[in-house]
Structure 1
Amino acid sequence: MPTHASLLRPRSVLFAPANRADLVAKLPRSAPDAAVIDLEDAIPATPEAKAAARPIARDAARDLIAAAPHLAVFVRVNSPHSPYFEDDLAVLTPELAGVVVPKLESAADVELVAAALQQRGLNLPIMAGLETAAGVWNAREIMTAQGEAEAGRVAWAYFGAEDYTTDLGGTRTQGNLEVLYARSQVALAARLAGVPVLDIVVTALNNPDLFREDAGQGRALGYSGKLCIHPAQVALAHEIFGPTDADAARAHALLDAAQAAAQAGHGAFSFEGQMVDEPMLVKARAILHAKSEQGSSQQASGETQ
């Protein structure tokens, strides 16, 4: 499996329809942390449309990986409960960074996918879609299910608000109150499982302020990044989920102050008028680690574009 620094905690995952090789080829232009060639929602749910999209997806994935080796490329197959799942697996190749599997509902679903991958000799980890009532309820068991080696291991997850609300029989609103419980549940389960988790899509394509507001909610809940359905959303996701230079400078200053206090024999100290405790230091170290990984990813992108 390819290794990419951005895969530790991707800030942006950009989707393109599997039947549009022209759009797939353009995915690197907005510099997302990961790209997904979508055989599920982006393709009409008919046997003819799915069948026509598969060879396009396979060729487009091969070409994209060759053209942008810095980019983590995934294919989203259809749900293992759908009639399209088995045939979709023929699109997958070992060169992919992983496979996106939507609408997982239990550990048994993960085991089914893991077995299907292993039968085909594919050592691919899973990005798990939690977008049904059962999937949200069983989020932790899904994210802790383990296949053999990398195959079938849930390495990332995302929450799908649109499908979840439909499954629940609710109504989507701009304020997101109807998905607050589920959104929080998935983020909490991901934290306990140690799995980076991607936040919900924003379907309004020409409203950057709404995207920032929505992404800010996700970050506050503990999400590490955002699903993007338009290239313009990538930079916005990086703005909200990536540490800024100011964040890194403050983290450096805080850790320097902590070191000075320790050398002076002080167990407690204040920083910018606030008493410092260990969780603040942990967060500062995490910011610097994320900033370092962000720099590594940008450097790799610049070298290959």
Structure 2
Amino acid sequence: MLEGVTATNVRLPLTPLPRPRSVLFAPGNRADLVAKLPRSAPDAVVIDLEDAIPADPDAKTAARPVARDAARDLIACAPHLNVFLRVNAVHSPYFEADLAALTPELAGVVVPKLESAQDVQQVVDTLRTRGLDLPLMAGLETGAGVWNARQIMEHPAVGWAYFGAEDYTTDLGGVRTAGGLEVLYARSQVALAARLAGVPALDIVVTALNNEAVFREDAGQGRALGYSGKLCIHPAQVALAHDIFGATPAQLTRARALLQAAHEAAALGHGAFSFEGQMVDEPMLAAARAILAAGPQPQQTEEA
């Protein structure tokens, strides 16, 4: 929290964001698009000062006040929406100036291309010089970032992480393909590191905006690898992400019934029991708990 800011002028509480299924982006220089972000009911939104803004000093400078004001307006209109702002990379010439666009009401800061725990600490220290204490969503988008993924995500300031396939492939000098084999190792590494660090990880962007089949296939791969949700760059992708990374009503009902049966068996002193003709073990119970954790989250009803 910004030093000197009291609870009377900071909006609390935010909707909890333990495992976001969808994180929807909008360009920081387009206040009109930022205002529309709540309409598709994403779990979180990101106002972007990095990739969505040309790498030009004048363009970056012009975008910052627009992004700051758009964030404040969005928070005022949708006070329970988790609103993030993505700054440029910590070692870029734009990073420190981007901090002027931050506001303490934000749910957090998205920082791309982090490569070490030292990078994370540099971000934290720089934020603190401005009186800001915001959690970070860490972007793992380079060879070094993927290699050091676990130490980055174990930093206490990091609450979430995402894998960026496009920048990762560019950093390695590779080529993106439709099958995605070139990023399978890194994609798996980030998911594994996130699991060990206890941090929700968000899967790669799908740039085919009008191809539902491509999005579903790619998101299904991410779900199978252990990602909690998807980065979305079009409102139509949000519902698809919720479908794939959430849980169906039937799955939720079965998971609740299984856990209730386990509770009743334990009350009777039974260490082992059967459910729907199947012997139950701890991995099955853990899977049921995970299904409930991935179940539908409260939907945003506010319209910007």
TM-score range, shorter chain: over 0.9
Report the 3-state secondary structure (helix = DSSP H, G, I; strand = E; otherwise coil) of the residue aligned with 1:198.
strand
The answer to whether 1:107 aligns with 2:117 is: yes
Q: Does 1:240 align with 2:244?
A: yes
Residues 15 and 82 of structure 2 are in contact (CA less than 8 Å); yes or no, is this contact kept in structure 1?
no
Q: Percent identity?
A: 77
Give, in whole Å, the separation in 2 of the partners of 1:259 and 1:57: 50
The answer to whether the Cα contact below 8 Å between 1:133 and 1:164 also exists between their aligned partners in 2 is yes
Aligned partner of 2:125: which letter?
A
**Mean Cα displacement is larger for which, 274-283 or 16-25?**
274-283
Q: Which residue of 2 aligns with 1:71?
A: 81
Cα deviations by residue, 1:59-114 (Å, 9 ceiling, x for unpaired): 11110110111210011000011100010000001010000000000011001100
Q: Which residue of 2 aligns with 1:205?
A: 209
3-state SS of paired residue (1:205): coil
Going from structure 1 to structure 2, the CA distance change for 1:48 and 1:54 (only over 3 Å counts) comes to same
- The residue number in structure 1 matching 2:42 is 32
- Is the CA contact (8 Å cut-off) linking 1:6 and 1:34 kept in structure 2? no
* Structure 1 counterpart SS, 2:271: coil
Correspondence 1:178 to 2:197: no
Residues 249-285 of structure 1: per-residue CA shift (max 9 Å, x gap): 1101212322343344432223234321112112212
Residue 289 of structure 2 aligns to a residue in which SS? helix
CA contact (8 A) 2:14 2:79 kept: no
For the 8 Å contact 2:137–2:159, the answer to whether it is kept is: yes
After superposition, the C-alpha distances for 1:96-144 in whole angstroms (9 at most, x for unaligned) are 0000000000011001100011000011000000000000000011111
Separation (CA, whole Å) in 1 of partners of 2:83 and 2:259: 36
Q: What residue is the counterpart of 2:4 in the other structure?
A: none
- Which structure: greater helix fraction? 1
2:230 counterpart residue number: 226
What is the match of residue 116 of structure 1?
Answer: 126
Match of 2:192 in 1: 188
Once the two structures are TM-superposed, the CA of residue 163 in structure 1 deviates from its matched residue by 0.4
Worse-matched range after superposition: 260-269 or 235-244:
260-269
Instruction: Give, in angstroms, the shift of residue 57 of structure 1.
Output: 0.5
Verify the 8 A CA contact 1:158 1:198 in the aligned structure 2: yes
Return the offset for 1:219. 0.8
Say whether the 8 Å CA contact 1:6–1:33 is kept in structure 2.
no
Partner secondary structure for residue 128 of structure 2: helix
User: SS in structure 2 opposite 1:156?
Assistant: strand
- Structure 2 residue corresponding to 1:49, chosen from 20, 43, 59: 59
Q: Match for 2:205: what amino acid? A: V
Could you tell me the TM-score, scaled by structure 1's length? 0.92
Residue 242 of structure 1 deviates from its aligned partner by 1.0
How far apart, in 1, do the equivalents of 2:289 and 2:119 lie? Answer: 36
- CA–CA separation in structure 2 for the residues paired with 1:273 and 1:211: 36
SS state at 1:233 partner: helix
Q: Which runs of 5+ in 2 are unaligned?
A: 2-11
Out of 94, 102, 111, the residue aligned to residue 92 of structure 1 is: 102
For normalisation by structure 2, the TM-score amounts to 0.93
Tell me, which stretches of 5 or more residues in structure 1 are unaligned? 147-152
Output the CA distance in 1 between the equivalents of 2:283 and 2:51.
40
Question: Structure 1: how far apart are the matches of 2:254 and 2:86?
Answer: 39
Q: Which has the higher contact order (CA 8 A, sep 6+)?
A: 2
AA paired with 1:110? V
Kindly report the root-mean-square deviation, in angstroms, between the aligned alpha carbons of the 2 structures.
Answer: 1.4
Preserved contact between residue 124 and residue 133 of structure 2 (Cα < 8 Å): no
Structure 2 CA distance for partners of 1:289 and 1:183, relative to 1, 3 Å: closer
**Aligned-partner Cα distance in 2 for 1:264–1:209:** 48
CA distance in 2 between partners of 1:289 and 1:172 (Å): 33
Q: Distance in 2 between matches of 1:224 and 1:26?
A: 24
Deviation at 1:6, TM superposition (A): 4.5
